[in-house]
Amino acid sequence: LAKTTQPISMDSYEGQEVNITCSHNNIATNDYITWYQQFPSQGPRFIIQGYKTKVTNEVASLFIPADRKSSTLSLPRVSLSDTAVYYCLVGDISAGGSYIPTFGRGTSLIVHP
């Protein structure tokens, strides 16, 4: 099974930059790395996705080294509303060739005033 490993929890303060690293040593050659954010009582929500190098959108940046065995989600200047659980996701391929999105246990980020 594709497996991701992330820190269980992180603490930060408003206005700081937060970096969450995920390791995915068995990532498939053609797979993408996708990050999701989840608030209590809601389903996960897509944040950002990348294949290699760096991707940036309006909410985050994603850094992927050349070997693609890890990735780092960077949240600039966090606010209290960024308190959530963050998941990185890679996939497995079934015997029938279907892509199976596989979640790890996520990182619980708490932002303090």
Partner 1 sequence: NAGVTQTPKFQVLKTGQSMTLQCAQDMNHNSMYWYRQDPGMGLRLIYYSASEGTTDKGEVPNGYNVSRLNKREFSLRLESAAPSQTSVYFCASSETGQGFSPLHFGNGTRLTVT
Of 62, 58, 66, 30, the residue nearest 49 (C-alpha): 62
Helical residues (DSSP H) of the chain, grouped into ranges: none
Whichever of 13 and 46 has its CB closer to partner 1, that residue is 46
Whichever of 36 and 111 has its CB closer to partner 1, that residue is 36
Residues at the site binding partner 1, with contacts judged by CB under 8 A = 1, 28, 30-32, 34, 36, 41-46, 49, 51, 87, 89-91, 94, 96, 98-106
Whichever of 18 and 48 has its CB closer to partner 1, that residue is 48
**HSE of 19 in the Cβ direction (CA atoms, 13 Å)?**
7
CB of 15 to partner 1, least distance (A): 29
Question: Could you tell me if 110 and 11 are in contact, meaning their C-beta atoms sit under 8 angstroms apart?
Answer: yes
CB of 72 to partner 1, least distance (A): 19
- List Cα–Cα distances, 33 to 11, 30, 72, 113, in angstroms: 24, 10, 10, 31
CB of 46 to partner 1, least distance (A): 4
